[in-house]
Structure 1
């Protein structure tokens, strides 16, 4: 494992946990699109990843799911899923980008993903370079994008606090500060709720901003279409 470097304030630290050389080369090629703004550390086992994160949690973790615990053991999706579940509990604000050939395995821990406060995105290794870069960047910015695994489950599933946020915003016209006060949570938690709501409704903030649309209006319209608010 390469030594961990503490980046300058203007740099992002990205850990890549991947043991396949060809895939690793592809990920590094994608990350080059961030330019000189990043410091990348490569880790090949879950043990290396665990130790590195304990020493210095990164701004973004790019993680395969089929990984070995150490250099003496075979790669396993089960091991990777358990590592991810434990990681989200220990580091609830860590930004995570899953880059795996087995993203369907995440459906088993979807409740844990919904509770995670950091960015969380998913891409299949077969995805285009453009799509992978967009998902990595979204996770780095704290956004959630799990449509690829949510499509495996029928219907919309929103937690009660997400529904309350929608109701207060779309029915009562509350802004985030008022929503936070009403729900007795921080404004950052309300922003986390919105990230989860966007993901479930299939609304992606960057796309809406590029089109010049008001994100709150788009979200409320979509919520009404789905019967989530009056």
Structure 2
């Protein structure tokens, strides 16, 4: 396989046994390559800066959230600020709505629990490489339950976000949305992720349903997808 086809992964966790386990598994996964690891967020930023200087930034970072010196949420926000092309998947033992939302707001495109099986870890990495959101089912349920809370009724979207969610409801792909708005596909993906986080939704399908419920599109529009 050509190097350009490999998905490069950087591992961040303060438990050495977890790092060794992930590295050993990913070494056997077709199309994936581990390019580095770190034991906390601050060290991860230092190592990624070295990789950036040699044009070897990873495609995806698997990021533990609870670590000393700099936690995973802060590190994720800094990674996305400095290297927006690098995607981050949060990996943690905790299932808390605030923590899930914090990771996604910081820029993560995935949220896995540490008891996820190997196949789900690989699926999350591949989804992240494609810029798509991948949530552990329990995390998705937590966000969905939070959507039902009264506080979510006060959420409002910007004019651009309303354009994007209408396009989602009409079946638009990220590429189609990007072309329609005259922006890059990565920017379109970012808009989609921001909308899901802001509304506490777990999927594009839920976003489409929200748009119908709010009267932004007619139900028949979503039926045609």
Give the TM-score range, shorter chain.
Answer: 0.5 to 0.7
Moved more, 142-151 or 191-200: 191-200
| Distance (whole Å) between structure 1 residues aligned to residue 36 and residue 178 of structure 2 | 38
| Distance (whole Å) between structure 2 residues aligned to residue 30 and residue 159 of structure 1 | 41
Cα 1:84–1:188 change in 2 (3 A) is: closer
Given the alignment, which residue of 83, 89, 99 partners 1:91? 83
Instruction: Give 4+ residue runs of structure 1 displaced > 6 Å after superposition.
Output: none
| Distance (whole Å) between structure 2 residues aligned to residue 81 and residue 152 of structure 1 | 22
Give yes or no for contact 1:169–1:179 (8 Å, CA) kept in 2.
no
Give the paired residue count. 196
Give yes or no for contact 2:161–2:191 (8 Å, CA) kept in 1.
yes
Given the alignment, which residue of 114, 117, 132 partners 1:128? 117
Given the alignment, which residue of 18, 28, 34 partners 2:13? 18
Q: Does 1:229 align with 2:217?
A: yes
Question: What stretches of structure 2 of length at least 5 have no aligned partner?
Answer: 52-56, 219-225
Moved more, 26-35 or 48-57: 26-35
User: 1:219: Cα distance to partner?
Assistant: 7.6
Cα 1:196–1:144 change in 2 (3 A) is: farther
1:38 aligned partner: 33
TM-score (norm 1): 0.65
Given the alignment, which residue of 142, 145, 149 partners 2:134? 145
TM-score (norm 2): 0.66
1:165 aligned partner: 164
| Distance (whole Å) between structure 2 residues aligned to residue 151 and residue 169 of structure 1 | 18
User: 1:120: Cα distance to partner?
Assistant: 1.2
